Structure 1
């Protein structure tokens, strides 16, 4: 086996890695990215050495959490698109992406501060979601549920802007719903 090939993780190592990612996702999302890695290891029930074997730096852990979150969003988006008619799938996926983006901007800033290019690290997952949204947008436009002049670049900008807006609102569900109502009304044809 060449040095470039990755060996599969043993079952216990794979469980530890998954548990670390689960805990890190929860902790970073609820308490911020400033939480020490030692606390994450302790909360996951592993030693700090185990954490660093899987993620040699805190930035590597943050990056892995972000990649995992984007992969989960892509899977959920694909499932919604397969289960719903195009217009409902479009709006459900828009909401899903915004709701699952909590903390993303803080993660990106933390990685940038450590000279890690988050956009490069997340390119593959981001491109998969963008491709899904291109199909969702086309389907919703053909169904007459979304303005026909809206293009994918504008949609991506709206997703980013809405995500930042929702993040600023905090946990006020009524205010969050008002933002979704305004954005969704603006997306619909006149």
Structure 2
């Protein structure tokens, strides 16, 4: 076991400013926002950014960790939902919202699940496992088509999340997911 040294106060401030500026930049300009601009806005050099976050994906994973941990907890709660299909739908809407936080993120997540070297892979795998439990429960209850796979469902969610950004209003992804879900119900 390695001892992790606590950050100096100035390093902690830089770390927090970098996260705040990255969140702002990714929200405004998407995941391809300039990391140089993030560092400059945080009042540090690019070397400081890379010392804290060696890659863009490490930075994104740090920003998304709390959201994804919340989604994993929500999946555990929804396993007890009275209607397993409603539980799955509720979880997918929450995950779709979390994974659509930044323009371009859904594409990165869809790629990261297949790339064990990605800093986002572990989080994506955890979300796939959470979804699998909900999918299995809905299938066992006879509420979800037996031929639907978790991977297909997550790819549909990513597609709905991306396409939903092109619909007017704030609930585009949810509207598209509702349309898709009607076709997934077991007959």
**TM-score, normalised by the number of residues in structure 1:** 0.71
Distance in 1, Cα, partners of 2:104 & 2:90: 19
CA deviation after TM superposition for structure 1 residue 73, in Å: 4.1
3-state SS, counterpart of residue 181 of structure 2: helix
Counterpart mapping for 1:1-190 below 5 A: 7-10=4-7, 12=9, 13-33=11-31, 35-44=33-42, 46-48=43-45, 49-55=47-53, 60=55, 62-84=56-78, 85=81, 86-102=84-100, 103-105=103-105, 108=108, 120-121=117-118, 122-167=120-165, 169=166, 172-173=169-170, 175-190=172-187
* Higher normalized helix content (fraction of residues): 1
Change (3 A) 1:37 1:78: closer
Q: CA RMSD in A?
A: 3.4
CA offset at residue 94 of structure 1? 0.9
CA displacement at 1:156 relative to structure 2 = 2.8
Distance 1:174 1:75, change over 3 A: closer
How many residues are treated as equivalent by the alignment?
176
Contact 2:143 2:186 in 1 (8 A): yes
Residue aligning to 2:111: none
Change (3 A) 1:140 1:73: farther
Gap runs ≥5 in structure 1: 109-116
Structure 2: how far apart are the matches of 1:99 and 1:171? 16
